[in-house]
Amino acid sequence: MTNASTLFFENVDLGDEIGPVERIVTDANVLDFISIREKKPNPSRFTSKEVAINEGFDEAIVPGVMNIAMMSQLVTSWTRNVRLKKIDVVFRQTVPHNTTLILKGVITDIPEGSVTSDIVCDITMETVEGVKLVIGNATLTLPKKA
């Protein structure tokens, strides 16, 4: 997922794309993620299809914070010298396990005359069919050329 290139603020234009990146979050990935906080996680909507169904979901779902982590990784892996200042997401639908996800972004704002080198991008996580599961935006900083 890491791009070996180095980008500078002056090299970025409106409409430049980040990604797309394909990801599949497996049951084991979710369990590993949750196990960071809990050594032996109890069955939950994140780890058990049965619990998820009892809570009104169709299947076990990917935790929201894990989705945010993947979207953060999308933008921070874009170029080796980018910094993530802010990320804001909206969950439009639940994200199921074992499904191909497409993560992508597009540069939507480069404030003119700003003393910072911030850029803003829209980011999405969607199914291969184009159904948007998570949308949002991120503010990134790139260094200016010396």
Helix axes 27-35, 64-76, angle to 10 degrees: 100
The CATH superfamily assigned to 9-25+62-141 is Hotdog Thioesterase (3.10.129.10)
Q: Residue 41 has what pLDDT?
A: 79
- Please provide the DSSP assignment of 75-137 as one string: HHTSSTT-EEEEEEEEE-S--BTT-EEEEEEEEEE--TT-SS-EEEEEEEEEETT--EEEEEE
**Boundaries of every domain in the chain:** 9-25+62-141
Q: Residue 145 has what pLDDT?
A: 84
Q: How many CB atoms lie within 10 A of CB 104?
A: 18
Q: Residue 1 has what pLDDT?
A: 43
Residue 50 is classified by DSSP as: H
The pTM is what? 0.89
Q: Residue 84 has what pLDDT?
A: 96
Q: Residue 116 has what pLDDT?
A: 76
The edge-to-edge listing of strands for the beta sheet with 17-24 is: 17-24, 100-109, 118-127, 132-141, 83-91
Cα separation of 35 and 83, whole Å? Answer: 27
pLDDT, averaged per 10 consecutive residues of the chain (146 residues), comes to 71 94 95 86 90 94 96 94 96 96 97 81 97 97 87
